[in-house]
Structure 1
């Protein structure tokens, strides 16, 4: 019996096996073994994706190939089938993600029965990813098998996806070190062998289907038992390790895993613990190019029409202002419903129909009706939000009925205003203007906190001058002007505090803006503001912290 020359290594985490694998292969090559004579054995073949991820130099040749169901072409077909199942917002988003025209997919008739040729003609019209030769071969076989059948396109897609899910693609990257599953090693020999995942439950690997029948039934039916399969695999490992000049066996201890008991049968024992050099995986030079703070030259604040949002961005973070307003880099539109924008739209519609309400029941009924009209969807998340909003609007309705009984009436909603403050042009959209016989109220709806907008301390840190801008632009138009926030879900109406001081500060800022000729677009000092910013990646903030 030949002696097995193998080093057994244990690591704490499964991923830590990969640096040891790379070191073991390098060591074998340095000892004079050709890369073509080295094999990496994966008892759990699903681990190939992780190994492939870190094979940056394409040194490995994966004999088991790669799964076609991981390719973009397969994902495109899968996303179309999922969309036909549910027709949801999420499924539409998935189609867009895979560059599929939603309108074209929705045009397809799902009830008519087609033959197999018609099915592939319809798929061709969608201009999906280019087909590989292996797919074309499978398509020919598929057409032959189902040449006389008629089915709906959903049924055809189901069968075609099942066929493609079993397809593997050859590894053609040209790596010299072979990567194999345990069963693929029969009949071959290598001078250098590295085995990963040598843990109980993985070595030997028994398919789940073998648990369906017990060993006595399998013996009676003359089928291989679990013991037969285990013995076969053990023999394969023993043979390839005996024929190798040098071997390395690696296992992980993560999640309380134990080394394979077969190690003792091979006379190797549990080996020694090894700390992996993780720099082999992650020691990549940063791809982020450090740039100096951009400079906005020839800055002229008087040539710009400012809004409260634009001014707030400028005062909060010059870099964000630069990306948004100078480079015009707009954030990706959110697929999720924006609560604040929707509630503003709802209240605009509410007061278009009536300028005031006399009864709580009438106002409540109108709000519920508008919620159902403006959000016609079967999405469970939206349905839940509607129920939540209906309950939360109770306090708002009570407060507004009290307000209208005092004689106030809605005079304008979503009113666009424009004017000059200190020589700089400003514009805005006022949520609501109410009037009675004595004066005017300007309201700003808030679905969140008003703490920052209505701060009374540390005014030098104030960045939200919305109410001061409204006050200055409307003071000549209305007498006895008052400004307040309406907290939609609490129903509270809170008048703006320290308006004079805030307006004075606004004029100081306007003066500074007018004197600026160039602005350095530096990043804000308060890193907490970066958490929800759309430009964190451009800045090297957020996930990099």
Structure 2
């Protein structure tokens, strides 16, 4: 079977990975649509994404070509400060100590400045003027794709098209320094969505792992097959709306030293659905 027999809800890389991690968590989050509690990692990730997206909208006419690296870093720092302040209400709700907030701000700044360093190296390798290189390297940002055939959707952070070569990239603020199975599934879904819309593969898909650098792989038939297989499997197993069809998968992601799953209390009998 090439496409799902029935589509109960449109999936995403996040929802499929949630189901694979724990079907019961999927049930609470996507079937019952219970609210989830925001955390610093989600908010910080949103802020970093916004800063990176708006980085390519800065006015480069006032940037000194001889000093562009320093000026781009200043621009990125200003963007981070702007978007961090914009999310003050969300950050305040976390009730974190000021020292903790300062730590996450500085860590995010370090990641974004590292990304600017990488971008500046690319500018130099183009052998173009600063302005031409900046425009040449500017990606198509934040594109939404949906496949009605497969019942899957996704946002692509950056589509880089340079001299006929297309690379789809996503920004990640996590500490991981490898293309995990979860990340590979996300990239595979990008391949499927792009191929369905444009009737051709992108050349590469990859991630900006902002704590480490960038990693990309060739977009090929194997990734397309992986996406189809995982999408079909999750549609097949999420037709039911009965909790017993979504078993718990107990493990280290239920509760850990610094936190717990959003649904830990309801899963282990300390809270009821009506309490959400």
Shared fold by TM > 0.5? yes
C-alpha separation in 2, matches of 1:512 and 1:487: 28
Greater fraction helix: 2
Q: Note the alpha carbon deviations across 1:90-140, whole angstroms, 9 max, x for none.
A: xxxxxxxxxxxxxxxxxxxxxxxxxxxxxxxxxxxxxxxxxxxxxxxxxxx
C-alpha separation in 2, matches of 1:500 and 1:372: 42
Give the structure 1 partner of residue 129 of structure 2: none
| 2:69 maps to which of 340, 357, 360 | 360
C-alpha separation in 2, matches of 1:327 and 1:391: 38
**CA 1:316–1:335: 2 relative to 1, 3 Å:** closer
TM-score (norm 1): 0.38
| 2:83 maps to which of 354, 374, 379 | 374
Give the structure 2 partner of residue 180 of structure 1: none
Q: How far off is 1:402 after superposition?
A: 1.8
Q: Note the alpha carbon deviations across 1:58-94, whole angstroms, 9 max, x for none.
A: xxxxxxxxxxxxxxxxxxxxxxxxxxxxxxxxxxxxx
Task: Verify the 8 A CA contact 2:47 2:84 in the aligned structure 1.
Answer: no
C-alpha separation in 1, matches of 2:263 and 2:174: 23
Task: Verify the 8 A CA contact 2:16 2:231 in the aligned structure 1.
Answer: no
Aligned residue runs from structure 1 range 338-417, under 5 A: 338-353=43-58, 359-376=68-85, 381-405=100-124, 406=126, 408-417=136-145
Give the structure 2 partner of residue 446 of structure 1: 172
Aligned residue runs from structure 1 range 79-90, under 5 A: none
| 2:214 maps to which of 471, 487, 493 | 493
Give the structure 1 partner of residue 252 of structure 2: 528
**CA 1:487–1:513: 2 relative to 1, 3 Å:** closer
Aligned residue runs from structure 1 range 96-175, under 5 A: none
Q: Secondary structure at the match of 2:138?
A: strand
Aligned residue runs from structure 1 range 16-415, under 5 A: 301-334=6-39, 338-353=43-58, 359-376=68-85, 381-405=100-124, 406=126, 408-415=136-143
When Rg is computed on C-alpha atoms for both structures, the one with the higher figure is 1
Give the structure 2 partner of residue 425 of structure 1: 151
C-alpha separation in 1, matches of 2:156 and 2:56: 14
C-alpha separation in 1, matches of 2:175 and 2:224: 21
C-alpha separation in 2, matches of 1:414 and 1:338: 17
Give the structure 2 partner of residue 468 of structure 1: 188
Q: Note the alpha carbon deviations across 1:6-36, whole angstroms, 9 max, x for none.
A: xxxxxxxxxxxxxxxxxxxxxxxxxxxxxxx
Q: Note the alpha carbon deviations across 1:32-70, whole angstroms, 9 max, x for none.
A: xxxxxxxxxxxxxxxxxxxxxxxxxxxxxxxxxxxxxxx
Q: How far off is 1:354 after superposition?
A: 5.8
Q: How far off is 1:533 after superposition?
A: 1.4
Q: Note the alpha carbon deviations across 1:381-417, whole angstroms, 9 max, x for none.
A: 4445444444444432221112234355223212111
Q: Secondary structure at the match of 2:163?
A: coil
C-alpha separation in 2, matches of 1:335 and 1:349: 21
Task: Verify the 8 A CA contact 2:194 2:201 in the aligned structure 1.
Answer: no
C-alpha separation in 1, matches of 2:114 and 2:220: 27
Q: Secondary structure at the match of 1:472?
A: helix
> Structure 1, unaligned stretches of length 5 or more?
1-298
Task: Verify the 8 A CA contact 2:8 2:235 in the aligned structure 1.
Answer: no
Q: Which has the higher contact order (CA 8 A, sep 6+)?
A: 2
C-alpha separation in 2, matches of 1:533 and 1:312: 15
Task: Verify the 8 A CA contact 2:202 2:219 in the aligned structure 1.
Answer: no
C-alpha separation in 1, matches of 2:41 and 2:209: 22
Q: Secondary structure at the match of 2:118?
A: helix
Q: Note the alpha carbon deviations across 1:449-474, whole angstroms, 9 max, x for none.
A: 4457x24xxx6xx6861111111111
Task: Verify the 8 A CA contact 2:156 2:169 in the aligned structure 1.
Answer: yes
Task: Let me know the Cα RMSD of the aligned residues.
Answer: 3.5
TM-score (norm 2): 0.71
C-alpha separation in 2, matches of 1:487 and 1:473: 22
**CA 1:498–1:487: 2 relative to 1, 3 Å:** same
| 1:482 maps to which of 204, 212, 223 | 204
